[in-house]
């Protein structure tokens, strides 16, 4: 199953929108919110080479990056399209 990782920080003006997008996807994907101002969040950000927030990364069952948007926010329909296309290609 795919998972969405959301990298955010408190003073980021676009992060609330990123978290809003993630909230809408919670029924379709497992979502993990990573506050990069915490040790755990920063560690996770380093693992995926996140240098700016908000960043959204979809990972597979093994934690490997499938697609990412780093420092930008895609439209929610585009994220859904990427999820659907991946699942369709696996069947």
Separation CA 54–CA 65 (nearest Å): 16
Asked whether 42 and 49 are in contact (CB, 8 A), the reply is no
8-48: per-residue pLDDT in tens? 999 999 999 999 999 999 998 999 999 999 999 999 999 99
Would you place residue 49 in the very low, low, confident or very high pLDDT band (cuts 50, 70, 90)?
very high
Residue 82 pLDDT > 90? no
Backbone angles phi, psi at 70, to 5 degrees: -105, 115
Class of the CATH-defined domain 3-90: alpha beta
Residue range 64-80, pLDDT digits in tens = 999 999 999 999 998 88
pLDDT > 90 in the chain, percent: 78
- Dist. CA 60–CA 39, nearest whole Å: 23
pTM recorded for the entire structure:
0.89
Domain ranges in the chain are 3-90
Q: Which element (helix H / strand E) includes 33?
A: strand 30-35
């Amino acid at each position: 199953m795919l998972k969405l990782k959301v990298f955010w920080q408190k003073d980021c003006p676009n992060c609330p929108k990123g978290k809003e997008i993630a909230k809408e996807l919670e029924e379709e994907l497992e979502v993990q919110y990573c506050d990069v101002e915490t040790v755990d969040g920063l560690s996770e950000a380093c693992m995926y080479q996140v240098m700016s927030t908000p960043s959204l990364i979809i990972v597979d069952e093994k934690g490997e990056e499938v697609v990412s948007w780093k420092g930008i926010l895609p439209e929610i329909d585009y994220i859904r399209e990427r999820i659907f296309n991946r699942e369709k290609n696996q069947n």
